Amino acid sequence: MTDDPFRPPFGLRHALIQSTLASKRPARRLWLRRGLDLQTRSTRHVLDCGDGVRLSGWHTPLTGRSRGLVVLIHGWEGSHESSYLHSMACALHQAHYAVFRLNLRDHGNSHDLNEAMFHSARMDEVLGALQAIARLDATPPVVVGFSLGGNFALRVGMQGPAIGVTPRLSIGISPAIHPRHTLEAIDQGPRLFQRYFLDKWRATMTLKSQAWPGRYDFSAQHRLVNFVEMTRQFVEDYTEYGSIEAYFERYTLTPSMLMQSASPLAIITAADDSLVPIRDFAGLSSSGSIMHYESTQRGGHCGFIENWRLESWVERRVLQLLEQIAR
């Protein structure tokens, strides 16, 4: 990798500013100023993911020679339109990659596609989505995910080869590899973050209830203000797992598990991330299946905004990783 450290200017160094800009910067407008309107070049698809499950996403092919396909996965309560995801897609498309922005279940206004609720252990349908995407573009993909999407992306790399889904590389950006620690961080961190995620989850519950009238009663969840307890209640009421511990076990990733992945992985995170504690990565290194592990001093959660033009350093780093595997 090139020597390209993340060094934001003084006024952009605070983790809260970085994390806020990750989802609030006007990425689409910034790229429109550069002459790229990604949405007009993209087509929505509803994917058959097996077992009656349907997921939606947006495919942006290339009219000329493509350097490959990159599948992007947003974070929890994000979507294909999330600022960080849209900007990454634009950077990849400008660099001549085809892109597919996958929406997880109940994300991206897809609450009506499946009756059962989203939860973070629904790995089979994400792998099914990768198989469906391969029918649109058979090029072996690179998978890039942010936050919870980073956890999914890493699991694609770890579990996908067993069913014939073998990414060239799976990249987790600020990946939430230890879900209990992330939920505890939301509860114990800035009130702004806790309120933001609570409001987003409650809005999703409302939309799900409207999409499936008479099917759901989320009144018990709406009364809770602690994220761990809210998740515990949700797991007991709306998942097949008998306890929150069994649920967390399904998608907790340890450094030793990651280094033994069945296909190559890369992880980029920040030491000042208030939602994904850096201690979760203790013992991880660029060895075994980990092609690249990088922990920057700053960057917040999925931020990595490097200048006052609100450009993203992590987009350039991902492009460098893609160059490396193309050699």
239: helix, coil or strand? Answer: coil
Question: Dihedrals φ, ψ of 217, to 5°?
Answer: -135, 105
287: helix, coil or strand? Answer: coil
Per-residue pLDDT tens for 56-80?
Answer: 999 999 988 889 999 999 999 999 9
Tell me, yes or no, if the pTM score tops 0.85: yes
CA distance 102 to 82: 11
Half-sphere exposure of 177 (CA within 13 A, CB side): 25
**DSSP result, 160-220:** GGGGT---SEEEEES---SHHHHHHHHHHS-HHHHHHHHHHHHHHHHHHHHHSTTT---HH
Rounded to an integer, what is the distance from CA 51 to the centroid of its chain? 23
- Tokens 């998978």 correspond to 143
Q: Which residues contact 86 (CB under 8 A, 6 or more apart)?
A: 27, 28, 31, 38, 80, 101
CA distance 36 to 41: 9
Average pLDDT rounded to a whole number, residues 87-102: 97
Q: Residue 98 — pLDDT band, cuts 50, 70, 90?
A: very high
Q: Residue 2 — pLDDT band, cuts 50, 70, 90?
A: low
User: How confident is the prediction for the chain on average, in pLDDT?
Assistant: 95
Q: Residue 23 — pLDDT band, cuts 50, 70, 90?
A: very high
Q: Residue 192 — pLDDT band, cuts 50, 70, 90?
A: confident
pLDDT for residue 326 = 87
> In CATH, what class is 10-184+252-326?
alpha beta
Q: Please give the structure tokens belonging to residue 291.
A: 């092609």
